[in-house]
Structure 1
Amino acid sequence: MAFSADELRVLRRALATALNPAPLQDDDVQDCLRLAESVDESVAEAGRLRAFLLADLVRYRQALPGSLTGYLELLQDALAAGYDPAADDLAALRALRHHPAAGALLARCQVLAERSVRTRLARVSQAQSPSRTLAAAPRARLLALPGGRASDDGGAGAGAGAGAGAGTPAKPAPKPPAPGERPVPKPSEAFPPRRRPVPPPPPEERVAG
């Protein structure tokens, strides 16, 4: 795409305004609009020319080997315009590798095709990498804290108190006395229950006796 001297001046003023915003005059605004329309038309024309070039390339490829010279020229123009060689182009060039120009063009197309495949694979891997990271994230393991039901010291008490309820703590087992040590008396032994006094017999029973 080439710009005329007037279009370059308009483009320079537009860039200066973008860097340093300032009010534009009506003439400057109209010049920028006309330049934008010219750029849009050039882009559309380039797209049409590219479509015609690729259509001619297909026709010349289908007419090989008689159209070898024209096909090689069209393929070089397409590559210069950013065309990625297709599998049909590589197959045609392999069949014509005995021709020096076709052999050199085949080596160039193979490099471009490999680069294009790597670029597409990199884009696919980048698009799939977040989902793979989420899917491959390991699940957190639940670890038992010390002092719970699984501890060695409270294992027997937990099993005994399971029937009484989950929130009822188990009573510790009594500690046996050491050899030669007097056992601690039970509350019933230290404080025996008081016996109720026997009421006296009725007066009739005392007189009779």
Structure 2
Amino acid sequence: MAFSADELRVLRRALAVALNPAQPRENVIQDCLRLAESVDEAVSEAGRLRAFLLADLVRYRAALPGSAGGYLELLQDALAADYDPGPEDLAALRGLQQRMPAAAALLERCQDLAEKSVRARLARRTAASATEVAAPAPPAPRARLTALPGGLSAAGDKPEPRPAAPKPSPGPAPAPRPDRPIPTPGEVFPPRRKPAPPPEERAAG
């Protein structure tokens, strides 16, 4: 960006006032405001020119190889305006380097710029990832334990019901011992004895 003689005069006066506030400031503020407006207009105009330049570069690249001369010239102007060459530019230069020495030299320059751009993006991503890792996440709130009857700490700690013990199955009936004789009906039901006669009948007889 180039400044005119009047703009340079305003810059010198503004710097002088900044370094020595005791100096007179007549018309310095108004001049600085006008200079700031001019700078803003120049920046906007530079942005518009850069957009037109990149649009022309795309059109000339699409018309290759017939537009090789104009494409190489536009690419050099774009690089001077801080343009990062993309994969399409590298491919176009590779196709032109065999028959145009200027394309080969420009390809080497674009490859260096593309590598630096990739390294810068990786460095920014690495720094961003390191920043995210360095900031620990807040701990999750702990669940409040509630005391339950029986010394349990939570409802989920209830003891599982134990299965009832199986009842023993009745064994077989005891078999009769072979060494014991079977009682006879007379032993089981003994005969009745006749009652003894009264004492008087015994004396008369």
Fold shared by both chains (TM-score > 0.5): yes
Q: Which has the larger radius of gyration?
A: 2
2:95 matches 1:95:
yes
The question of 1:120 aligning with 2:115 is answered no
* Number of corresponding residues: 135
Seen in structure 2, the aligned counterparts of structure 1 residues 62 and 24 have a Cα distance that, compared at 3 Å, is farther
C-alpha offsets along residues 152-205 of structure 1, whole Å, 9 cap, x if unaligned?
xxxxxxxxxxxxxxxxxxxxxxxxxxxxxxxxxxxxxxxxxxxxxxxxxxxxxx
Distance 1:26 1:16, change over 3 A: closer
Instruction: Normalising by structure 2, report the TM-score.
Output: 0.62
Q: Measure, in 2, the Cα distance between the counterparts of 1:84 and 1:20.
A: 43
Measured after TM superposition, the shift of residue 22 of structure 1 is 4.9
Aligned-residue sequence identity (percent) comes to: 73
TM-score by length of 1: 0.61
Find the aligned partners of 1:22 and 1:53 in 2 and give their Cα distance.
Answer: 47
Structure 2 counterpart of 1:110: 111
> Given that residues 17 and 25 in structure 2 are in contact (C-alpha distance below 8 angstroms), is that contact kept between their aligned partners in structure 1?
no
> Residues 128, 22 of structure 1: CA spacing in aligned structure 2 closer, same or farther, 3 A cutoff?
farther
How far apart, in 2, do the equivalents of 1:64 and 1:20 lie?
59
After superposing on structure 2, the runs of 4+ consecutive aligned residues of structure 1 that deviate more than 6 Å are none
Question: Where do residues 7-22 of structure 1 align in structure 2 (5 Å cutoff)?
Answer: 7-22=7-22
Q: Work out the CA distance in 1 between the residues paired with 2:11 and 2:37.
A: 13
Q: Deviations over 1:127-158 (max 9, x none)?
A: 111223456xxxxxxxxxxxxxxxxxxxxxxx
Considering only aligned residues, what root-mean-square deviation do their CA atoms show, in Å? 1.6
Give 1:49's aligned residue: 49
What is the CA–CA distance in structure 2 between the aligned matches of 1:36 and 1:115, rounded to whole Å?
34
Letter of the 1:113 partner, please give it: A
Query: 2:60–2:67: 8 Å Cα contact kept in structure 1?
Result: yes
Aligned-pair distance for 1:112?
0.3
Shift of 1:97: 1.7
The alpha-carbon distance between structure 1 residues 30 and 56, as it changes in their structure 2 partners (threshold 3 A), is same
Shift of residue 123 of structure 1?
1.0
What residue ranges of structure 2 are gaps of 5+ in the alignment? Answer: 137-205
**CA distance in structure 1 between the partners assigned to 2:35 and 2:131 by the alignment:** 42
